[in-house]
Amino acid sequence: MSEIKTVLEKYPNAKRESLIAILQEVQDKEGYLSREAICQVGEHLKLPSAKVYGVATFYNQFRFVKPGIFKIQVCRGTACHVKGSLKVLEAVKNELKIEPGQTTKDGLFSLEVVACIGACGLAPVMAVNGEFHASMAPENVKKILNTYRERTKDEQSK
């Protein structure tokens, strides 16, 4: 909760034009936009929550459910599509048993489809928490996801 306040304090007397920037910052801090966050931002900017929600839902960047520890982005840009990114996406979906926009039950992974990450030369691309995996093949999905699973186990055992 207090995280939202610290973000809002950075924007005293903010007007509507700061709305998207504030939402982006809140999402950076909390990982998603909670109901409370939207209401608070609305109060701060003297905008109805419905308007804030309306803006937030318009843009692909904002999400409203808590993401996993590892955010998987599968690129579905043209170059990636031509090189078979749909199969990569399906392999991820099969492996994690979730659809894009969802988070796995253990809270480890969330899956997202992005229009283009701008790394077309490396197509097909999958990014996990900003780490790029180039020239993906459906067969490699399991292996890569397992390295992340290992990573959390390592941290827990420490």
Partner 1 sequence: MNKVNDFGIPVKEKQTGKTYIYVGTGTCGLGAGAGKTVKAINKYIRDKGLNAELVEVGCIGMCTAEPIMEIKANGKNRISFAKVTEDKAAAILDNVLAGKIGDIKPIYQYSEGLEKWDSVLSMEEYQFFKYQKRLVLANCGIINPDSIEEYVAAGGYKALAKIIGGMTPDEVCDTVEKSGLRGRGGGGFSTGKKWKFARASAAEQKYLICNADEGDPGAFMDRAVIEGDPHRLIEGMAIAAYGIGASKAYVYIRAEYPLAIKRIINAIEQAKHYGILGKNILNSGFSLDILIKKGAGAFVCGEETALMNSIEGKRGMPKPRPPYPAVRGLFDKPTIINNVETLANLPGVINIGWEKFSAIGTKTSKGTKVFALSGKVKNTGLIEVVMGTTLRRIVFDIGGGIEKDKKFKGVQIGGPSGGCIPEQHLDIEIDYESLKTVGAMMGSGGMVVMDEGTCMVDIARFFMDFIQKESCGKCIPCREGTRRMLEILNGISSSYRNKTAAQTLQRFKGVMSLRKLADVIKSTSLCGLGQTAPNPVLSTLRWFPEEYEAHIYERKCPAGVCKELLNYKINEKKCKGCTLCAGKCPVQAIKGAKKAPHYIIEDKCIGCGNCLEVCPFKAVEVS
Residues that bind partner 1 (CB under 8 A): 15-21, 23-24, 54-55, 58-62, 76-83, 114-123, 125, 130, 132-134, 138
CB of 156 to partner 1, least distance (A): 26
What gap in Å lies between CA 21 and CA 133, rounded to an integer? 29
CB of 157 to partner 1, least distance (A): 25
Of 23 and 111, which has the nearer Cβ to partner 1?
23
Of 6 and 94, which has the nearer Cβ to partner 1?
94
Judge contact between 42 and 90, C-beta under 8 A: no
**Residue 66 structure tokens:** 């808590």
CB of 92 to partner 1, least distance (A): 14
Of 99 and 157, which has the nearer Cβ to partner 1?
99
Kindly report the number of other CB atoms within 10 A of residue 35's CB atom. 10
Torsion of CA 30, 35, 41, 42, to 10 degrees: 170
Of 135 and 152, which has the nearer Cβ to partner 1?
135
